[in-house]
Chain A
Amino acid sequence: MKPISAMALLFVVFLGALFIYVSEDIPDFGDPYSPANRYVNLHISIDAGADGLEDSLRAGVIPEELSSRIKARGFPSPSETEYSVEEVEGGWDVLIAKEELLYPEPEKYYFLKEEEEGNKLVVYRYSIPVRWEEKCEEEIGVPNMVTAGLADYRGYDTLGETTVIFTAGIAVILLLRRRGKL
């Protein structure tokens, strides 16, 4: 048998150390509020103790300071398009109409949550699977969310991938059909 190669082991140990170094950003196993599953913390916050903040949010108006800060970070700001504010348990949902070619409609985009420490109002952003799970039944009508996503929401990916598997078959034919007649 060949002796164990030392350079390969060293490389593997170095890679393992790198993986341990980045391991604190990985979300917990089974966390329903991780950035991949529900929402992402944007770290934009304003003071929640200001007068009339809750009343203005109930009336459906977002304060100008928050909109300008959201816009300064590069996200679509609510004050430029039509928006609406709804109250759910734990915070407020902000529905904005993003710029689309045809028929833009307001959809769930931001989530304002009250934090106890420091009495702040923090802005979160919803991830894509939230809309996927809620609108799948009425838009597509297929109960299986994975097949609906594969064939309708992500149809181009599936088309490209069928081409990949077809090309692999053709490549094997080109390599191996000279040795005799099948």
Chain B
Amino acid sequence: MIDWSFGGGIFIAKYNYWISILLMLIGFYAMIAKGNLLKKVIGLNIFQTAIILFFVSLGDATLGSWGKGVTEPIVKGTLPWAAGGIVEHGVVYANPLPHVLMLTAIVVGAATTAVALALIIRMYEEYGTIEEDEIIEKERELGV
């Protein structure tokens, strides 16, 4: 009925990109349009998760191994100095480089969220509210 390969195979062959774009735009909208400070922090987290998912999905190699399956980047076989260490050949591995880089990104995201939450707690104790509009009004009343 519908020829799904229009546009040179952009829409079906790259569906990981479109899912990640959708999540990214949702997180970005939450970051700039909502007034509550806590919702902005959650939007930041959604944004980071979308980018990490996209980057890890770039290292997949499923199309090159029909019938065998692509494995995670762990060498099949035992350690070479143990007795009888045999390493299998001809196995297709996924790319280990995106996993390494994204481990660092996940931890940096967690650290950023922790400091942002601590700042929100301090702001609540100072101003008594978390809404962005009321904080701006109180700052204007103070005469800054």
Contact = CB atoms under 8 A, between A and B. Distances in A.
A–B touch (CB < 8 A): the answer is yes
Contact of A172 (B33, B57, B59, B118): B118
A33 interface: yes
Given A4-B33, A26-B14, A32 B61 contact: yes
A2 B95 contact: no
Contact of A37 (B28, B87, B95, B118): B95
A143 B29 contact: no
Contacts of A28: 9, 13-14, 63
B75 A137 contact: yes
A27 B58 contact: yes
Given A145-B96, A158-B104, A165-B111, A31 B75 contact: no
B28 to A, nearest CB: 6
A8 B15 CA distance: 26
B16 interface: yes
Given A129-B95, A133-B96, A29 B73 contact: no
A129 B33 contact: no
B84 interface: no
Given A5-B33, A8-B33, A24-B8, A146 B96 contact: yes
Interface of A: 2, 4-5, 8-9, 11-12, 15-16, 19, 23-24, 26-34, 36-37, 128-129, 132-133, 136-138, 141, 143-146, 149-150, 154, 157-158, 161, 164-165, 167-169, 171-172, 175-176, 179
